[in-house]
A and B are shown apart, each in its own frame.
Chain A
Amino acid sequence: MGKALETKELVKWYGKEVLALNKVTFDIDAGDFFVIVGPSGCGKSTLLKIIAGILDYDSGKLYINGVDMKGVPSYKRDVSMMLEMYALFPHMNVFDNVAFGLRMLGKDKSEIEKEVKEALRLVGLAGLEKRMPLELSGGQRQRVALARALVINPSVLLLDEPLSHVDYRLQRKLMEDLKEIHRKVGNTFILTTHVQEHALSLADTVMVMNTGVIEQIGKPEEVYTTPATVFAARFVGEINLFSAQIKSWDGGLCYLTTDIGELKANPKNKNTLPSSGKVAYAIRPEYVKIGEEARLCDNKTEAKLVSYYYFGHYMEYVFEAIGNTKIKVSVPTEKVGNLTLGSTYLLGWSAKDVLLIERPCMIEGLNIEEVIYGK
């Protein structure tokens, strides 16, 4: 399969102070649904703008469909983009906003009319053709911006946070629609979000970013089950992280010292791990058992229930073990027992569900505790 996009050591400075992209190298297969996820300010929009050709980079290489993009103006790239702040044309109504790109491509009138109608129907804005941008709600504007980028149907479509300002139901609908459009037209989608659920459920490939660098690229399941760094583990999904010291290895089993005592791990990535030293000991909340079930586990600790969050289809309990270490446990709603706040319970998990992560993050010079316990 060909590459829709390749970057080599892209560097972008804003002035002399802000290094927005620090040697970013990655590629995207043609036809991929590629989702970039990362915290606010990590450089997602910067990267997309560079790909779209509305922002210059300082050094490195950028290829789209194999062609070097240095000096190629935006309108000559087979790319379109939905900008983060929508940037609708304030002097044009909804129809003209969506038709703009098609007009620039020189399509004829009847075709434009048909495609604009279809795009507006798709984003649920049929009937609002005559409205001016100022007469729309934030979410409606976002959908006009989405429709406007979609109608052009380029080989690479860039969507900068297309789902951030609409309600949950509409998010779900737009996600389904995006997936379906992507399947139908088969072009490459690059979408950014800071919502990890969107990344996991939309993407063929996820890229986790951290201030100017790539933390990990992989399939959603891969990133979730084998995070490359502590940062990636923390950012994608909920996870319990303890700072740990490797004491010894016995066969496949690793013995570690942590804040909550001696723990065991039987991680999948054992052949990449060192024989001693500091690592992050990580266990996802859905693998932690409570009470009777915990007795059978090879890792156990006592902990006090301090709070809980109800999420509909599951319940998340927050426990406090020795040294005020928080442990999150998620339990499917139908299995929820009767727990009392303030009581102490036995928690346990199996060594084979534990992840050991050696690398704190892809930014040099941060120590592992800083990343584990947050910045």
Chain B
Amino acid sequence: MSTLQLKMGLTDRVAKYSRYLLLLPGFVLLLLFLLIPLSMIVGISFFERFTVTGPENLTLKNYVAFFTSPQTPVILLNTFGMSLLACLIAFLLGYPMAYFLVFRVKSARVRFFVVSLLLVPFLIDWSVRVVAWLPILGESGIINYALMSWGVIKEPLELLFGRSALLIIWPQTYLLWMIFPSYLALTRIDPDIINAAKVLKAPPHRVFFDITFKLSLPGVVMGFIFVFVSALGDYVTPALWAGGIQTLGLSVANYAANFVWPYAAALSTILVAIALLILYVLLKVVDIKKLVY
């Protein structure tokens, strides 16, 4: 009897732990390519120099330098302000599209077709997509040409080479990251829940804000995170099109290119820390726990 018990105990335990095996490949990848490099970066940021022989002189100098620089407020604003604004614009453009697809397009086939269309830009090489903005947003690009020939404006708008470029390019580039999770969250809503709100006397705007929108919030938050993180990580667009404005990502790239590893590492750490803080506040405010039912 005791051997039987032992056996049962063993298989039970194997069964209990074996489900964690599913996590193993992902965990190994995370460890190798994210956690280890990230902790190395954080580690390096606390040294004065990083040479072939290794790090030298433990110090907080890098952080002090960053936070006392007069440039810092502008850089932070460029980085996080622009990314958040891009999220907001992507939301304002993307959410109505997702809503329309789910609630106004009756045919599942058409819906699938439109979603597939949204993926087409991703088939075009990234470098082409980045450069293609010139003939569209440039001084003699399509938009300025159209606006001027319709007489809406006299002088070409300066759409590129300024912050406005980021607010056009980022939302466009990452629109799908907003549409997709919103779309999925909206399709998950039981139509009878919306019906229930209607029969309980809710006018259309209350049905939307009290029920539909609230229930789709997990998807919207997901979309926000996707767009936010993508925009934060993109330093090429600011470098090419934003007319010399500085962002944290850009600074990291610059310092890293000049082998000033510790300072680049400190900037990266600050970038990640503030990003995490913003995400944390976002999740707190939305209280996503209550919505993920």
Contacts and interface: CB of A to CB of B under 8 A. Distances in A.
A31 interface: no
Interface in B198-239: 198-204, 206, 210-211, 214-215
Interface in B173-215: 190, 192-193, 195-204, 206, 210-211, 214-215
A87 interface: yes
Interface in A12-55: 49, 52-54
B195 A80 contact: no
A152 B198 contact: no
B289 to A, nearest CB: 11
B37 to A, nearest CB: 39
Most buried by A among B192, B290, B291: B192
Given A91-B291, A104-B203, A104-B206, A73 B198 contact: yes
A223 B290 CA distance: 50
B218 to A, nearest CB: 10
Contacts of B198: 52-54, 73-75
Interface in A63-79: 73-75, 79
A293 to B, nearest CB: 53
- Chain B interface category by residue count: 20 to 34
Contacts of B211: 89
B196 A91 contact: no
A152 B196 CA distance: 13
B203 A80 contact: no
A106 B289 CA distance: 29
A361 B68 CA distance: 89
Contact of A83 (B199, B210, B215, B291): B199
Given A52-B199, A152-B200, A91 B290 contact: yes
What is the interface of chain B mostly: helix, strand, loop, or mixed?
A: helix
B293 interface: yes
Nearest to B207: A75
Contact of A75 (B192, B202, B210, B293): B202
Contact of B192 (A87, A132, A148, A152): A87
A180 to B, nearest CB: 23
Contacts of A231: none
Contacts of B291: 91
Given A83-B192, A132-B293, A134-B293, A89 B197 contact: yes
B214 A91 contact: yes
Interface of A: 49, 52-54, 73-75, 79-81, 83, 85, 87-91, 100-101, 104-105, 132, 134, 145, 148-149, 152, 158
Q: Which 8 A-B pairs have the closest CB atoms?
A: A101-B200, A87-B192, A104-B201, A74-B198, A87-B196, A81-B199, A54-B195, A90-B293
22 contacts: A49-B195, A52-B195, A53-B198, A53-B199, A73-B198, A73-B203, A74-B198, A74-B199, A80-B200, A81-B199, A83-B195, A83-B196, A87-B192, A87-B196, A89-B193, A89-B211, A90-B215, A91-B214, A91-B291, A101-B201, A104-B201, A149-B199
Given A54-B195, A80-B200, 12 more contacts: A52-B195, A73-B203, A81-B199, A83-B192, A87-B190, A91-B214, A100-B200, A104-B206, A145-B196, A148-B200, A149-B200, A152-B201
